[in-house]
Structure 1
Amino acid sequence: MSSTSTTDRPPAPRRRPRRRGLWTTLAVLAALLVVAAFVGPRVYAALAADDAAAPLTTTAATAATTPTAASDDATLDGTWAIAPGGTAGYRVEEVLNGQDVTVTGRTDQVSGALTVTAGQLTAATVSVDLASVTTDSSQRDGQFRSSRIMDVEQHPTADLALTEPVPLGGLDVGSTLAVDLVGTLTLKGTTRDVTIPATVQRTAEDAVTVTGSLGLTWSDYGVQAPDLGFVSVQDTGTVEFSVSAVPA
């Protein structure tokens, strides 16, 4: 019998180096990271734009008018309490890797009272629970409540107080009045004079809705706008509210 010599066997195939495949994988990963760096913020900005709440405005069908003289039949006279279900919050512009994003924070934890005397709004207070203000991001909300920004443990509320009377005149049911609310805003322990453009809407015989917004500079109230390098918040923003009041 004959046998095949080991020297006659064909040589085993040599393994090709995998270095080329490794470099290809690394190149693909690098390309994906570049795409994510540029596309990611744009996608986030588009999604955040959809999540941003619309500005708080009056729902009146009639056009706002200017205040008139007090009516002899001052049916609004008396003390009114802020009813549950109101809304207050803020609106700021955030920049993420060069992409502009509108961020809105909202809460329904709003309380207060109004006093109407002889057809004039003579006293008003509105208090907002800042710890309950939320956005679409729990991380952002944690920063908002922190001592570096709002410090809600030491300053749990934002407070608005009227300091000048506002003529309401004879405000019929369904009518809306454009007014200026002159008063003070207290935020993070700092109180400043403000004038807030607003509307007063008589939604029912026993219900009034007050809606307003005020542009402000956060640093005026000792609030430091976050700047983490890749994301920053402008030092200016808007506070908004829309609350209904009923006879107390």
Structure 2
Amino acid sequence: MTIKKLAIGVGIALVVLIAAVWWLFFWGDTPEAVDVDAANTQLDVDLATASDNAPATAPEAFDGDINATWVVDDEIGEFDFETASGSFAGFRVDEELTIGEVVAVGRTGGVSGTVTIEGGRLTGTDITVDMGSITSNDTRREFPIRRAVMADEFPTATFVLTTPVDLPVGLADGETATVDAAGDLTVAGTTNEATFTIEALVRDDGFGVITGSATITWEDFGVTPPSAPIVVSIDDSGIIEFQLIVAKG
């Protein structure tokens, strides 16, 4: 075999290897960040699907009064990365790999809790997330993620509001409200204050749709991002996000 042919063969092999690695780590779309309008549209789809297959469990029609304890619904929709339906919570973080940059996403549909509104103010949240059920758009990340957040030792993460928030009057009239909500975020057994930018709307059918996101620094929660030979770096900070479908309790 001539040196030229050998070089060509090595070049082809490298191209194939790069293509294979690219497919393994980049194939498939990264889930979009949470968005209240997208969540509302998906809820329409989920309700229609539920009605086709079996009677959907629906709340009473909205009576114009937002003051109540709203309970996170865990029946409507079935969470997955393609549709992002139902209630879920998770994170997004930028990764630099040896072959390019990606956004790593981890999410779980294991979300429960309540959101309380009194006197037109958001006065309480008690949200619990099952960290042991986190999945990813790349399944190979899932075990390292759960290990990084010490899910075996600390199986849940929580967010509890600490400061009441005035809500726009228009929320009761079908308008989308955007507010900042500060509270105690507990991840991996460590609690720090976090401020979530929240968008919410109330539907005529009685469901409420809430999305929120906050930027945190992993080190503040004692979390060391997982590593792998192909990973050059992972951002020190990431975005915690959630999507909640709620109904009056």
Name the TM-score class by shorter chain: 0.7 to 0.9
TM-superposed CA distance for 1:126, in Å, is 1.0
C-alpha offsets along residues 56-98 of structure 1, whole Å, 9 cap, x if unaligned?
01118xxxxxxxxxxxx98122222111121211111122214
Q: What is the Cα deviation at residue 187 of structure 1? A: 0.5
Matched residue SS, 2:224: coil
For 1:1-248, list aligned pairs within 5 A. Answer: 20=1, 27=7, 29-44=9-24, 46-47=26-27, 50-59=28-37, 75-84=65-74, 85-146=86-147, 149-170=148-169, 171-204=171-204, 206-231=206-231, 232-248=233-249
Shift of 1:199: 1.0
The amino acid of 1:175's aligned partner reads E
- Structure 1 residue matching 2:36: 3-state secondary structure: coil
Pair 1:41–1:235, CA change in 2 (3 A): farther
Unaligned ranges ≥5, structure 2: 39-62, 75-85
Please, what TM-score do these two structures have when normalized by structure 1? 0.76
Q: Between the two proteins, what is the percent identity of the paired residues? A: 32
Query: Equivalents in 1 of 2:101, 2:124: separation in Å?
Result: 39
Bigger-Rg structure (1/2) = 1
Amino acid at match of 2:32: A
Aligned residues: 213
Whole-angstrom CA distance in 1 between matches of 2:5 and 2:162: 68
| Contact 2:113–2:127 (8 Å) recurs in 1 | yes
* Contact 2:88/2:111, CA 8 A, preserved across alignment: yes
CA distance in 1, matches of 2:173, 2:73: 18
Matched position secondary structure for 2:140: helix
Cα distance in 1 between the residues matched to 2:155 and 2:20: 35
Q: Relative to 1, partners in 2 of residues 1:140 and 1:45: Cα closer, same or farther, differing over 3 Å? A: closer
Moved more, 204-213 or 50-59: 204-213
What is the CA–CA distance in structure 2 between the aligned matches of 1:117 and 1:205, rounded to whole Å?
A: 21
For residues 195 and 176 of structure 2, what CA distance do their matches in structure 1 show? 19
